[in-house]
Copies of this chain bind each other. A is one copy, B any other.
Amino acid sequence: MQTLQEYSKTIMFPTGKPNDAYKQYFIGQSYIAPISTEQVKIYNVTFEPKCRNNWHIHKAKSGGGQMLIAVGGRGYYQEWGKEAEEMTPGTVVNIPAGVKHWHGAAPDSWFSHLAVEVAGEETGNEWLEAVNEEDYSSLK
């Protein structure tokens, strides 16, 4: 398996530092780098192989939600009640507020996506249960 250093050379954005602020909501190690802190806030989030976040919901009175733009490696996005969708560089996912979902790396690959914050009123996140281990392990 690639090291973070080796993987970092394959993508155009920095991988940043350990994503400690959200550690409690992730299985495995993730990394975060700010890409834009003005105007539209954008972060590059990198997941080590097998790393994924727990099910969660972006809350907002209006607007809000998040967009993901895959920029390296291979991973997945899944909405509650639907099949997981593979994400590879160039894949874009729109996540409206109110949608229960998770995202993360494939079992055998590093993965990076830009996380684009969508402006809204009274925004916040509701963090829920971890992804079922059997369901995750069944992904290729």
Known contacts A12-B90, A13-B90; is A116 also within 8 Å of B69 by CB?
no
Whether B36 and A65, one on each chain, are in contact in the complex, defined by CB atoms closer than 8 angstroms, is: no
Please state the number of chain copies in the assembly.
2
Which residues from chain B contact A39 at a C-beta distance below 8 Å?
A: 65, 67, 94, 96, 116, 118
Within the assembled complex, what's the spacing in Å between the Cα atoms of A42 and B65? 15
Q: Determine the chain B residues whose CB is within 8 A of the CB of A96 once the complex forms.
A: 38-39
Do the beta carbons of A92 and B36 come within 8 Å of each other?
Answer: yes
Q: What are the nearest 4 A-B pairs in CB distance?
A: A12-B90, A12-B89, A39-B118, A38-B94
Question: What are 11 A-B contacts with C-beta separation under 8 Å?
Answer: A12-B89, A14-B90, A36-B92, A36-B94, A39-B96, A40-B40, A40-B67, A40-B118, A42-B67, A42-B116, A116-B116
